[in-house]
């Protein structure tokens, strides 16, 4: 979870840089691009994905306000290997790489927090990969929805979580690595079982504690569930 001090420091740095606006589903970066800047998400969400040899999309992560990209380019000029797509209307601040490096190296606490966030994100990706490789389609979809609830969710009522990203069945399918049709079938099962609902275009995880317990995704002694990674 990004702390308020870090968020304020990043906002203070980037607010003096140019801001760019993108429409929904516009591609921001392509593989092999070598951007000369670091982008910071002010508003909206960005999907990071790759194409398989069969041309299928596999979403690796979704960036939210307060995230920056490309991750590696922020610290070196390696070539970007991913597609980055706006999945909502998007506002990005853009800073030259040299200015960004000067900023973080002059503020060790910022550099430490950014490094910690990157490691937490990679740890989350590895955990998700474990479930995606070893589980059936139902658990794959359920796990992915749980990850989204933790990263993008907000509490609604006593124990429901609203996922604040308007994810389609196609978006979920590319996160899971299965077909959209299979994803739709598994999501219908979750709806019938009372785990999943909707509010407009947003998904709702109903009774998050019961959901976690019944699909056995978290240790029983884990009482401190975080909803924003």
**Whole-number pLDDT of residue 62:** 92
Q: What is the pTM of this model?
A: 0.81
pLDDT at 85 over 70: yes
Two structure tokens written together for 110: 């910022």
Two structure tokens written together for 47: 């999907």
User: Which of the four pLDDT bands, split at 50, 70 and 90, describes residue 108?
Assistant: confident
CATH number of the 4-117 domain: 2.60.120.10
Class (C level, CATH) for 128-214: mainly alpha
**Whole-number pLDDT of residue 217:** 46
Residues 26-31 have a mean pLDDT of 94
Q: Of all residues in the chain, what percent carry a pLDDT higher than 70?
A: 83
CATH 2.60.120.10 domain position(s) in the chain = 4-117
CATH 1.10.10.10 domain position(s) in the chain = 128-214
**Whole-number pLDDT of residue 226:** 38
Q: Are 211 and 146 in contact (CB under 8 A)?
A: yes
Each residue of 34-67: pLDDT tens digit? 777 899 999 999 999 999 888 889 998 899 998 8
Residues 126-147 have a mean pLDDT of 80
User: Which of the four pLDDT bands, split at 50, 70 and 90, describes residue 75?
Assistant: low
Residues 82-106 have a mean pLDDT of 92
CB neighbour burial string for 113-126, b if at least 16 within 10 angstroms, e if fewer:
bbeebeeebeeeee
**Whole-number pLDDT of residue 134:** 66
């Amino acid at each position: 979870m990004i702390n308020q001090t870090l968020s304020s420091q990043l906002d203070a740095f980037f607010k003096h840089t140019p801001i760019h606006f993108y429409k929904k589903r516009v591609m921001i970066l392509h593989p092999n691009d070598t951007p000369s800047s670091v982008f910071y998400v002010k508003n909206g969400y960005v999907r990071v994905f790759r194409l398989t040899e069969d041309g299928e999309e596999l979403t690796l992560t979704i960036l939210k306000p307060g995230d920056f990209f490309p991750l590696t380019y922020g610290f070196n000029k390696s070539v970007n290997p991913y597609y980055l797509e706006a999945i909502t209307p998007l506002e990005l601040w853009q800073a030259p790489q040299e200015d960004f490096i000067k900023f973080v190296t002059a503020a060790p606490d910022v550099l430490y927090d950014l490094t910690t966030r990157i490691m937490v994100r990679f740890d989350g990706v590895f955990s998700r990969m474990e479930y995606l490789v070893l589980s059936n389609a139902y658990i794959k979809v359920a796990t992915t929805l749980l990850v989204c609830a933790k990263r993008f969710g907000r509490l609604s009522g006593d124990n429901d979580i609203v996922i604040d990203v308007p994810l389609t069945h196609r978006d979920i399918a590319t996160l899971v690595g299965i077909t959209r049709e299979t994803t739709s079938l598994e999501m219908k099962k979750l709806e019938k079982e009372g785990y999943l609902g909707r509010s407009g275009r947003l998904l709702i995880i109903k009774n998050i504690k019961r959901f976690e317990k019944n699909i056995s995704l978290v240790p029983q002694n884990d009482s401190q569930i975080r909803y924003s990674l």
